[in-house]
Amino acid sequence: MLKKVFILSLILGFAFLEARVSNIFAEQIAENKKYNQTIRKFMAQSYKMTRLVHKSYAHAVFPSVYKGGLVFGYAQGEGRAYIRGGIWTGNVNISQYTVGAQLGGSSYSEIIFFKTREAFETFKLGQLEVSAQSSLVLFAGVSADMNFDKDVQIYTLSNGGIMIEGTTGTQVFEYTQKP
């Protein structure tokens, strides 16, 4: 009898473990798909974007950055950093603080290209900050780009919302190495 209980417990334990592992893999697949779709959305905008994805040393991708403001504004999002070849190296949090004429809320995707290893290392150390911005967001699909310096290029793509702004501020990035 004890042997049957042990075998039944073992079978139930393995079934539970298999279900949990399957759930974890399904979550990871869905998360990876979200980032891949964001990169493809940017690549569909122009050949230049496709070339940057393949030629840059690294890039950081933020599928959704949520932003709102009334005189003072705040935006926040989570992303991932990849080196050439699509190798995921770490997670990135973005925070944006703005002040100026602004009203509304919006969501956008952002991708940052690092042409050199040095530029990416500077980013990983938290020493890259971006400032000055103006936009008018009334519907999804409006694209804008900004050259921060010769080794870093930042592109945004509106996901929607209603926001009018002419602001100055800063974007702060926090990089965490992939475990």
What are the pLDDT digits (tens) for 53-82?
999 999 999 999 999 999 999 999 999 999
The Cα-based distances of 58 to 104, 110, 167 in angstroms read: 33, 14, 28
Token representation of residue 117: 């290893």
User: Which pTM was predicted?
Assistant: 0.79
Q: Are 109 and 157 in contact (CB under 8 A)?
A: yes
d(CA 156, CA 85): 22
Which is higher by pLDDT, 64 or 28? Answer: 64
Q: Are 58 and 90 in contact (CB under 8 A)?
A: no
Q: In 3D, which of 54, 55, 25 has the Cα closest to residue 40?
A: 54
Neighbours of 86 (CB within 10 A): 12
Which is higher by pLDDT, 100 or 139? Answer: 100
Token representation of residue 5: 């209980």
Taking 70 as the threshold, does the pLDDT of residue 20 lie above it?
A: no
The amino acid at residue 28 is Q
